[in-house]
Every structure is written in C-alpha cells, then in structure tokens.
Copies of this chain bind each other. A is one copy, B any other.
Amino acid sequence: MKRFFFFLFVMISLAMGAQGYRAPSAPTPDIAKDGSVTFKVKAAHADTVRLIIDTRVDTLMKRQGNETWAITLRDLEPDLYMYYFIVDGMKVLDNENAHVLRDVKNVMNTFVLDPRGDCPMAVHDVPHGEVRAVWYDSPTLGTKRRMMVYLPAGYEQSRQRYPVFYLLHGSGGDETVWLEQGRAAQVLDNLIAGGKAEPMIVVMPNGNVDEQAAASMSELGNVQPTFAHKHWMDGTFEQSFNDIMQWVDKNYRTRSGKRYRAIGGLSMGGYHSLYISANQPEDFAYVGLFSPAISRMDQGKCKIYDDLETKLKAQFRQRPKLYWMGIGKDDFLYKDNAEFRKLLDKNHLRYTYHESGAGHEWANWRDYLVIFTQLIFKN
C-alpha cells in the first residue's frame, strides 16, 4: 500500500514536469455561470502583464496579491477563443491550461465559451461523426498528399450515400486547421444532430501544393508552418483539384451530381473555391466564399484565372443553388469583395451576401461555417 502511494506520487510528479506545476484547482480559465471569464497568471517579479485574446482582446491585467495577475472579462460571445500572456514583453502561455492550438506558427492556449450549452463549437452530447486523416494520390502533382475527412455519425453503420462539402483553408493554414481552429467536426455534429444541417461528408484537403501535409506531418521534420509557399495562388492547387474529387468519389459513399456537391473556403480557400467552381461549373451547386482573397493580380498567370467574367456568366447560366459570400466590415479585403460584388451585380448574377462585424478572423469563419452548412443540400 505504501508502494502504491509512492507510485501515485512519482507518476504525478513525473508527468507534471519538475518545473512550476501546481495541482489544478479549477478548470482554466475560470468560466462563471454568467459567462464571465477569469484569467490568472503567476508572475511575481513582473512590471506589466497583458492578456491577448486572438484578434479580439489586448488588455492589461491587474496584480492580485504577491505573485498573481488576474482579469475578468464579462462580455465575450459563445465561441472558441485563443489567448496568451505578455509578461514584461515576453510571450508566456497559461501553464494551468493544457489546451493549445496554433495559428500558423503562433501557439496559444484555447477554451470554448458555452455558458448556455448551445454554442455550436462546443462538444455536446450528440452522435459524433468520425474524423479520418487519409493520404490520397495526386497524379497531377505526382505525389501522395494528406487530407482530413469528416464522416457524419452513422456513416459506418449505414449503406446510405451522402453529399460532399469541400472545405478549404487559408494561406498559412493546412489540412488540420478547419478541424482545430474551425471546430468543423463539432459544428457539423451539433447542426446535424439538431436537424439544422443535412448529414454530409466534409473533405478538408491541404491547399499548399508545395507541401504533402501539415508541417508536423511532413518529412521535413522540424520545418515550420509558413505563409511563404512557392506555388501560392498560381493555379496549381485548382488544377489538381479533380484528383481529390476522384479519390473521394472512389473511396466514400458519395451522392453523384452537382446538387450533392458544395465547395467553400476562407481567404485563400475562398479564392480557390471561386476559381474551382468557375472553371468547373458542372461540379458544384453550392459555393461559399468566406472573406475570399479576391484580387485581380492573376490574369494571365494561369488559364484558371483568365476570363473570370465570362466563366462566371457560364457558371450562373447553370443556376447554382447557392452562391454565398460573407465578409466582415473591417476586413482588409472588404473593398476587393465589394468590387467583386459589383461585377456580379452588373451581370445580374444572383448571390447571397452576409456582412458581419469584425475583420479577417476565425470568429467570422466559424460563424460563416455555421450559416453556410445550414443552407446547403436542403433540396
């Protein structure tokens, strides 16, 4: 029995690491029933401590006793949040919170705020879909590549066929980001269970054709995630997209025909979605552009980008069921998107437009995912 307690002690000491660990007293950060969130960090000798919450909060914390700094925030919306501290100019994570995510290469702590139990980004007691990390063959790129696939609850047990939503990430992202920062599996689980979205397969490929997989799954070992890709929006990804669709149709029980296929994405992924759907109008009845990185820079660079207006007119003649655009009022791409809308308006091409607050950020993209997935495959 003595040995048992020694064992327990050593196990706990070992895994906590020798440094600075204190037994957890409460979940971190501390979320009260009214949804207020209290952040704490120990920094006895610091002069200033700041709390940064992704793009949303940058505020000074207050000294509380000898070594603790704290702050309570009261008006945060239900959502996923990412945060860290700046202690006298140095970035420090919350050592009491083991949950971390990265945005490109910026690692932050994370929590989901769900005070009313209805946040679609939270895990709820509903049937959960399956998430697969698969490697598909891309003959166009001459390599195997990794992608993530969400299969709705019941897929394995049924013989049913399902519609497919191709969900694309932004520059700096990879095949994992829609599951991690985007909470795609939780959003789909919750919306499908609530009867708000149709059961669907969601395919999340890697849009950086220079890499086979997310940096951590790469042969390059300790290479870092980056924006700096050689083949960045040069048409290569769009040209290789059929490799993905063919692999998906071969390996999953997909429904065939454009009315059972959607494509959407954020920023660079919105740009990819725009051009893939414009070049393959017969393939997608639903298009979602989430703060798309629209610009005019690519004319003449690759035939994928040429003659957009003509292609759009042809695409809309085939009557997409939904052409959806969302953007924040403060997005630095707002003006480019407004110009793109003018182009659509001039040609009487009908789209659905959603203007939100804030800028080019995940809080918007998670919302757009929630909205868009409730509109597709409904008829």
Contact = CB atoms under 8 A, between A and B. Distances in A.
Nearest to A94: B107
Contacts of A141: none
B293 A112 contact: no
Contacts of A146: 128
Q: Which of A90, A125, A225, A226 has the most CB of B within 10 A?
A: A90
Interface in A115-138: 122-125, 127-128, 130-135
B90 A217 contact: no
A135 to B, nearest CB: 4
A355 interface: no
B52 A17 contact: yes
Given A20-B91, A104-B16, A105-B24, A99 B130 contact: no
A199 B17 CA distance: 36
A157 to B, nearest CB: 8
A311 to B, nearest CB: 21
A99 B217 CA distance: 10
A92 interface: yes
A343 B131 CA distance: 44
Contacts of A8: 227
Given A3-B336, A20-B91, A112 B221 contact: yes
A170 to B, nearest CB: 8
B87 A98 contact: no
A303 interface: no
B267 A222 contact: no
B106 A17 contact: yes
Contacts of A28: 222, 224
A100 interface: yes
B52 A123 contact: no
B106 A16 contact: yes
A194 to B, nearest CB: 15
A95 B103 contact: no
A15 B221 contact: no
A273 to B, nearest CB: 17
B105 A98 contact: yes
A338 interface: no
Interface string A256-287: 00000000000100000000000000000000
Contacts of A96: 105, 224
B135 A128 contact: yes
B107 A100 contact: yes
A132 B131 contact: yes
Contact of A10 (B1, B124, B131, B360): B360
B18 A52 contact: yes
Given A112-B221, A222-B28, A251-B156, A15 B106 contact: yes
Contacts of A361: 14
Question: Closest 10 CB pairs between A and B?
Answer: A98-B105, A15-B104, A17-B106, A111-B222, A131-B133, A128-B135, A27-B222, A4-B297, A15-B172, A132-B132
